[in-house]
Amino acid sequence: MIRIAAVVLGILVAAGAMFLLDSENAQASHDETAPAISVRVEKLNKASIAESVPLQGTVFSHHAVNITPEVDGRITAIYIESGQEVERGQLLLQLDDRHEQATVRREQAKLKDDIRRQKQIHQLAKQHAVSTSEVDAADAQVAIQQAELALAKAALEDRAIRAPFRGNVGLVDLSVGKLVNSDTVLTTLDDTSQLKMNVSVPAKYQHRIQKGTAFALNADALQARSVVAKLAYIDSRVSDQTLNMRLQLTIDNHDNLLLPGTFLTGDLPLAKETVVSLPLQAVAYEGHQRFAYRLNGDHVEKVEIELGARNSDFVEVVTGLKAGDEIVTEGLVKLRDGVRVQVIEHPRA
């Protein structure tokens, strides 16, 4: 019984194979006898396709610090107002410095006395009235006292709080007489004449990113306006986790159009590359696969392709086709692999 079933199964398999073979032969015969499908073709050339990378991020000040005192003390004078523009080195606030001023005067007097004694020792040394060690000791005492005076002046300077760079101060909510320490934030200072923005882009574009590239950025706060950003720095490393590289953009903000923290978006243009470009209408889609029909004599070949950058009319062909191939651009609907075609418009050389 088992032998009979095996024989029957074998007969069915053979019959199925013959049916498929006959169907393929019939289809091939039909393709050869059916009227040729009219198509237009175009010869592929190499061309440059403009491409950009979308960016987004928040801007921050070129310089930004919290103004805090170096030492503890009581405020004796306030020379700024909220939002005021200040210059580098400008005096912002003054802490009580009476003790430090007295210390400086004392150290200046001591230095003056040490210098006087040093001169006397050197005069006696010319008369061989003192030893070399006494001369060295007098010189050393002057050097020590000069250092002591420098320390006293530094302590006095710490009581005068100055702007480290040009910029605009933030809110000033202080009163004369308030006791502050090194943890007290007196105000903020921002140089917003130039803003910066850090962004990340895929590392695969690194050979097409050019330092100095200028392009437009937009923000809701700007309404219909835009600002020009410049690619200033390219990081020297690629993240091994995201495979991205970091870029830093700079924005001229002398007109104070933007505030630090503003969210901006834009597109970074990439350097153009010469690639094999294919008209978009020549691409056939089947699921996640992409195909094109290449002319081979009076027949067409269905070729799977991989696509890259694109614009409104053309797309880059990464693999599957080469420059000089003649590709069907019109009449794709009725095509399939191996059918006979008639070219109604020959490609330009």
Q: Rounded to the nearest 5°, which phi and psi values hold at 256?
A: 55, 40
pLDDT at 33: 60
Q: For residues 265 and 219, what is the distance between their CA atoms, to the nearest angstrom?
A: 6
- Give the CATH number, domain containing residue 163: 2.40.50.100
Residues 39 and 100 in one domain: no
What is the domain-level CATH number for residue 222?
Answer: 2.40.30.170
Residue 149: both structure tokens together: 């005076």
* 178 has a pLDDT exceeding 60: yes
**Strand pairing class (299-310; 314-319):** antiparallel
Specify whether 200 is located in the same domain as 163: no
User: Does 309 or 168 have the greater pLDDT score?
Assistant: 168
Confidence of residue 75 (pLDDT cuts 50, 70, 90): very high
Claim to verify: residue 255 and residue 331 sit in the same structural domain: no
Q: Give CA–CA dist 247/199, Å, rounded.
A: 5
Mean pLDDT of 269-278: 86
Q: Binning pLDDT at 50, 70 and 90, where does residue 342 land?
A: confident
Residue 1: other Cβ atoms inside 10 A: 5
229 and 285 co-located in one domain: no
Among 180, 198, 216, the domain boundary falls at: 180
Does 106 fall in a domain?
A: yes
Helix (H) or strand (E) holding 310: strand 299-310
Task: Please give, one letter per residue, the 3-state secondary structure of 226-278.
Answer: CEEEEEEEEEEEECCCCCEEEEEEEEECCCCCCCCCCEEEEEEECCCCEEEEE
Residue 289 shares a structural domain with residue 255: no
Instruction: Kindly state whether residue 232 falls inside one of the protein's structural domains.
Output: yes
Question: Do residues 256 and 322 both lie within one domain?
Answer: no
Q: Where do the H-state alpha helices sit in 35-131?
A: 98-126
Q: What percent of the chain has pLDDT over 70?
A: 89
341 in the same domain as 288: yes
Q: Are residues 173 and 97 located together in one domain of the fold?
A: yes
Q: Is residue 257 part of a domain?
A: yes
pLDDT in tens, 186-199: 999 999 999 999 99
Q: Is residue 224 part of a domain?
A: yes
- Other beta carbons less than 10 A from residue 183's beta carbon: 8
Residue 14 covered by a domain: no
Please report where in the chains the tokens 């917003």 appear, as a residue: 192
Q: At what angle do helices 132-157 and 98-126 cross, to 10 degrees?
A: 160
Question: Which residue's structure tokens are 């410095």?
Answer: 97
Residues 89 and 140 in one domain: yes
The answer to whether 332 and 294 are in contact (CB under 8 A) is no
Q: Are 250 and 195 in contact (CB under 8 A)?
A: yes
Asked if residue 349 has pLDDT above 60, the reply is no
Please say which residue of 230, 250, 269 terminates a domain. Answer: 269
* 41 plus 135 within the same structural domain: no
pTM exceeding the 0.75 threshold for the entire prediction: no
Q: Which domain holds residue 313?
A: 34-50+274-345
- Per-residue pLDDT, averaged over 165-191, amounts to 95
- Distance CA(131)–CA(37), nearest Å, equals 117
Give the distance between the most distant pair of CA atoms in the chain: 139
Residue 199: per-residue pLDDT: 96
At 315 the pLDDT is 87
Same domain, 41 and 133: no
Mean pLDDT, the chain, as a whole number? 87
Nearest alpha-carbon partner for 331 in 37, 35, 43: 37
Residue 10 has a pLDDT of 56
Confidence tier at 19 by pLDDT (50, 70, 90)? very low
Q: Determine contact, residues 92/162, Cβ cutoff 8 Å.
A: yes
Looking at the domain assignment, is residue 4 inside a domain? no
The answer to whether the CB of 313 falls within 8 A of the CB of 275 is: no
Q: Is residue 155 part of a domain?
A: yes
pLDDT at 345: 67
Q: Is residue 325 packed enough to be buried (19+ CB in 10 Å), middle (13-18) or exposed (0-12)?
A: buried
Q: Given this model, what pLDDT does residue 312 score? A: 79
Considering its fold, how many domains does the chain have in total?
3
309 and 336 part of one domain: yes
Please report whether residue 18 resides in a domain: no
Say whether 204 sits in a helix, a strand or coil. Answer: helix
Identify the pLDDT of residue 272: 81
Please indicate whether residue 334 or residue 97 has the higher confidence score (pLDDT).
Answer: 97
Non-local CB neighbours of 6 within 8 Å, separated by 6+ positions = none
pLDDT at 136: 94
Low-confidence winner among 92-96, 136-140, 216-220, 232-236 (lowest mean pLDDT): 216-220
Q: List phi, psi (to 5°) of 229.
A: -105, 155
Q: Considering only CA atoms, give the Rg of the chain.
A: 41
Closest CA to 307 of 323, 290, 295: 290
Residue that is last in its domain, among 234, 269, 304: 269
**CATH code of residue 38:** 2.40.420.20
Structure tokens that stand for 210 in this block: 């050019």
